[in-house]
Structure 1
């Protein structure tokens, strides 16, 4: 009987260690990918990734960083296209596309816990964006999913495209 209890305890510990190892590996796998790869793999940032590639920022955001990207979803881009009455192709052809995208990027790794109500963050477009809390927003865009880890920074998913 004692032998059965000991075997059962060993089995429980081994299963627990395996589960913990799998969780740790999954977290590390996500953080071993750069910002662009994480965005591509997520599946809901295809317009953002296409735009980054179009203006040459994808390579920058694959670099060392660290960077913080406030990443609009495909749905956010669809809303912008509708509001501006343009197509995705017309958006990708805009002269100010690079500035629009740079307005979504902050140098350094800024987690949601680092944000303070009313603070202004310097974007790579050399313009400031205002942070509000409760709920967390940048300008008028809601942060719908904060703190997605990448090897070279962090992504905060937002529900609107920011315009400088």
Structure 2
């Protein structure tokens, strides 16, 4: 690869790392091209980009970004998975793939500006997705006014019940 292409690749990767909500480094040594392609396709469905990157180029691209914390992990063969939206979807897809093949290894990553260990990535995979969290939040928000309306409507309902009982009593007395 000539110098101009390397510079372009570094600039592009630097920009992606700046926009990323999470980035995870993986060791793909021993995987077949078909396995890597299947992983890449699965990640693409989740809105995650997966690319093999030379360690030197990754070090240069990560400078000045929150991904700079992954520099100690840049040994051996590396690929980076970059998520721009839901970090838990990235972690879930990588964890599921790691279960399927013992050759694939999650090395660590970064979430926002916080470094992630492989165990942190697995813990992130256990979190509900963004949509599930929003649905839970909206359900909680909806429960408060619903309960309030129920409580407030109980007083007039009881009053109407009392009036109906008085009316029945009057009718029975007559």
For normalisation by structure 2, the TM-score amounts to 0.24
Greater fraction of residues in helix: 2
Which of the two has greater strand per residue? 1
The structure having more radius of gyration, on CA atoms, is 2
